[in-house]
Amino acid sequence: MPSEQIFSLNEIRSRLEKGDLPFSGITELGSAYVEFRRPAFYAGIAIHAGDRVRDEILKCMAVSQEDRYREEDPHTDRFIRDFPIQIIGRDSRFEYDINRKRETAVYQTPEMAWGLDVLNMPLSNALIRRSLKKYDEFHALMDILADYLCGQHEHGVIFDCHSYNYQREERRPWYEDEKPVINVGTGPVNRERFAHTIDDLMSRLSKISVEDRPIDVGENVVFKGGHLSQRLSKAHHDTLLVLAIEFKKVFMDEHSGELYEEVLEKLAEQFSKAATACLSA
């Protein structure tokens, strides 16, 4: 992802309030890449697309880069590349997990990280504080985004894109696995208020195909929405729809990390069309 101009959160808020768009760049502490192409009431975010870890944290890590990569959400920024507003997390969830509460955002035990031995030595309080400053920056950025989106229209919409592993127990083709290829997490949102948009999106997503095969789409089957969705939905219950979208990793080998470029390209294109179409229906 490009590294352009550096913006403080105050500068981002000021430019949005003035309507000074387009602009793109990275936040002051480096937690996010932002791109505001044009005014809009909806945005795409990929909070776990990044894989950066500070050198001072890496020295304390026992978990391998390969194991980190398997639990991250690589390439999820591709699903939002056509959106008018994009925010992409730049750091690995193994440094701090944006989608967890602040007190559990820094993994320190295997129980916090899918059974993985994350650390070979305890993190100092100073190291944790530096990571949490970036965590705080990202969440403050999300608050700015939410306020902006809700001010553009009668409501705002955030497509919160993630991916998930489906071959933990058994290696088999994606179409033989019963879990949905796309899961829409709506647990924290005002389902009654946004029923039309959610139902229309589900209908459009169900028409997507992968490798010429129809896909299953589920709502709250594998994921209902994490801390970010919960926090924003609570703060803007009637005015902001945060859709936590989980893509099964059909576009890559979740064990080796090999990318299936053609599958990803077609899936991302179909998702983008469905997402934008449901907003104008």
Could you read off the pLDDT of 89-106 as tens digits, one per residue?
999 999 999 999 999 999
Using alpha carbons, select from 124, 130, 127, 95 the residue that is nearest to residue 112. 95
Q: Element (H or E) spanning 88, and its range?
A: strand 85-89
Q: Is the pLDDT of residue 160 over 80?
A: yes
What interhelical angle do 195-205 and 261-279 show, nearest 10?
150
Q: How many structural domains are present in the chain?
A: 1
Comparing 130-139, 156-165, 272-281, the range with the smallest average pLDDT is: 272-281
Comparing 153 with 80, the larger pLDDT belongs to 80
Q: Is the pLDDT of residue 54 over 70?
A: yes
Q: Which amino acid is at 56?
A: E
In this structure, what DSSP letter does residue 68 have?
H
Q: What does 172-227 look like in DSSP terms, one character per residue? A: --GGGS-S-SEEEE-TTS-TTTTHHHHHHHHHHHTT-EETTEE--EEESSS----H
* Cα 52 off chain centre by: 15
- Say how many C-beta atoms besides its own lie within 10 A of residue 272's C-beta: 18
pLDDT digits (tens, 9 = 90+) for 193-236: 999 999 999 999 999 999 999 999 999 999 999 999 999 999 99
CATH number at residue 179: 3.40.630.40
Q: With contact defined as beta carbons under 8 Å apart, do 224 and 185 qualify? A: yes
Mean pLDDT, the chain, whole residue set: 96
Comparing 215 with 169, the larger pLDDT belongs to 215
Taking residues 25-46, report their average pLDDT. 98
The predicted structure's pLDDT at residue 280: 85
The predicted structure's pLDDT at residue 176: 94
Angle at 243 between CA 263 and CA 37, to 5 degrees: 75
Structural domain range at position 122: 5-279
List, in order, residues 6 or more apart from 70 with CB less than 8 Å away.
Answer: 165, 254, 255, 257
Torsion angles phi and psi, residue 230, rounded to 5: -65, -45
The predicted structure's pLDDT at residue 281: 67
Using alpha carbons, select from 279, 271, 276 the residue that is nearest to residue 207. 271
Q: Element (H or E) spanning 241, and its range?
A: strand 240-248
pLDDT digits (tens, 9 = 90+) for 228-264: 999 999 999 999 999 999 999 999 999 999 999 999 9
3-state helix, strand, coil in the chain (%, to 5): 35, 20, 45
Percent of the chain past pLDDT 90, that is, above it, reads 95
What interhelical angle do 227-235 and 125-152 show, nearest 10?
50
Residues in the chain: 281
Q: Is the pLDDT of residue 2 over 70?
A: no
The predicted structure's pLDDT at residue 169: 79
